[in-house]
Structure 1
């Protein structure tokens, strides 16, 4: 009997892995098709500079998507990440303006995001309010706080050091020409892209190799069964929301560093891009399913889609319509997969 149970478990795991692999492969094919479509008649799309632009645009979406994936796996949702991004970036800018060194100020912004995430987790677990309503409330609170702190005005003149994280790059090669002007031989790997890769590797290791990751999957698969197995589901949810908030804060720091200005109005609708990246990458809104590599593919699909539409001259309003359709289709496919 025990052997039969083990065989059934192995068969279930094998089927789940094959489904994940198929979904990931289909997402990769979708990304390649988008690249082919946008590159037809537009040679600049495949240029090195445009590729780096896509990487930079995807970095923020990817970091948000990683945090969103952890929350979605628990069976929740976090609608506040865009507003928390703005609040964290604003707090960072205010700290720098007050004379705090750049690095500690950036850590302060990430801490602000983590605090918002912890509050989300406490509301969901202790007050028993649904994640949709809890994080919707935090979305309004964080955005209103950012606007109130700054009077809805951007915080500028933050210094060159503040822009290093968002605009710097590794292995950048510049040579001086005979006329005395510099020429960029290789633009380098942008720091936000390196940061995204590090975050993706760390969180992927956490989900797959550490007890907390197993608890996150167990909570999303069946919260009651996880609780009966000894998992502290409330603690697991709070940690998931805290990490989502911290990563939203990190994304805010990166974005404001790119702008070298703290903008309290930034991050509007970013939560939809994060949700779309996670769901396109295979995360299930029913909980218990999702992985970071899939979310990265989903983030690049969103980034390529936005970049290609911009280069094709499509208005931002039409882009919103297209992204909205993509979100609906991704959720519909997720529902079909859950029914099967």
Structure 2
């Protein structure tokens, strides 16, 4: 079997910035309360007419350009999202058409904030087994569309954005070295969008009761995340035949600074080896890791043969960690 390596990254963020001070005028909260409990200072929000595919396509285009790969060479497109343009067709199909990647299979994947790591693992298996050679993985969210802006416990947390990575087959022992995915459906009710599916189809009642917005048991999700982020990272490292001392860089899901600090401590890493953009973007769910990955790469923080860990947790409840051997030199000028 072969393996799969990231050969290009890209991202796209909306221009509109919503600061904590802006939120002070909307709900009963404060900049100090948000910063001390989450680490978030501001987040990006998409315009009313912007859908997931509108952010995904520019991110994908930039990733393809970085990889030097035309869209026509793509064999597979996976879009990880919980905020697709429509329930069907898949947002991945809309992205495929706009990119002109007519030869690519395309589908969406829903694993909450763990979506990008899940999608990376799925794409990696297609490449490792030789079914496909080149894949595009996108994490994209427009969470502002499903937020209850009167709920101060959730509206302060989330932001919109998209990140993408191009993967290509490489010899075994390169690229993705270890992968650990998990789920615990007993915690499904802790983080959910109750209505809009077959359980609670849209109705005037579901709209009035705000059941088409994010509902979260924050304390329970926090406890789960603090535990699972470190555990998942260590299990992925074990599968890669590596120890925590071998980690050169950590790209964690950007949900809460205290959760990131707990994972950092569990891995014994200094802050300089952990990428954090939570303060600028908030929690972008499946887009958090690929946006952070793209920024870290373009800033010259990831060096060839670095052992990079990406780890996330999300609705489901789900979790996932991937260990990759970084195969790219820093971009010129970084």
Q: TM-score, normalised by structure 1?
A: 0.26
Larger relative contact order (Cα-Cα within 8 Å, sequence gap ≥ 6): 1
> Which structure features the higher share of strand residues?
2
> Is the radius of gyration larger for structure 1 or structure 2?
1
> Which structure features the higher share of helix residues?
1
Q: TM-score, normalised by structure 2?
A: 0.26
